[in-house]
Amino acid sequence: MTRQQAWEKLNELMQNKNLIKHCLAVEAAMLAYANYFKIPKEEREKWAVAGLIHDADYEKFPHQHPQFTIKWLNKINADEDLVNAVAAHGFGFNVKAKTLMAKTLRAVDELTGLIVATALVRPTKKLSEVTVESVLKKWNSPSFAAGVNRKEIERGAQEIKVPLKKHIEIVLSGMQKIAGELGL
């Protein structure tokens, strides 16, 4: 599956600009991790696509998410590891993450939301002004972005064996590269 195919499917299923931006943020985080883990260049697009497409059906089918996307990926004969990453991206889905790509998707998904929330409370609302330290400061305030599951983020970082501070750094740097697309 190409990025273009994923982008077209995402835009077919999703109209909410904030959800689209979330998918773009997760795509950027996955690409940052593909580089960090030194994934072969020919595999990096698949990592990015996993991030881009992971929530494609969430807006239209929130109660069946991610089942519609999984069926579609199987229908187009997408790689099994891509299907597994989408199927396992939420800890509550009870699907075993079989690959580093799948584990990484689980690790970055919630964290992108915390980083966006941290940017939005800055006077300029710019990702360029967000630091690892500012994210950690907000992390320690349970009432801030209360919907972000910090335990899931910690568990995800542990699964991929990256310390939390480094995890935030990698995801933040990936998102900062596409700050314009994110409107931040």
Q: How far apart (Å, rounded) are the C-alpha atoms in residues 15 and 19? A: 8
Q: How far apart (Å, rounded) are the C-alpha atoms in residues 27 and 115? A: 14
Residue 93 scores a pLDDT above 80: no
| Residue found under tokens 């710019």 | 126
Q: The tokens of 136 are what?
A: 């950690």
Residue 181 one-letter amino acid:
E
pTM of the full structure = 0.97
- pLDDT, position 91: 64
Residue 90 scores a pLDDT above 90: no
Asked whether the beta carbons of 55 and 41 are under 8 A apart, the reply is no
Nearest residue to 159 (alpha-carbon basis) of 77, 70, 98, 68: 98
Q: What are phi and psi of 18, to 5 degrees?
A: -70, -35
Residue 150 scores a pLDDT above 70: yes
Q: How far apart (Å, rounded) are the C-alpha atoms in residues 164 and 129? A: 20
Q: How far apart (Å, rounded) are the C-alpha atoms in residues 110 and 134? A: 17
29-51: pLDDT as tens digits: 999 999 999 999 999 999 999 99
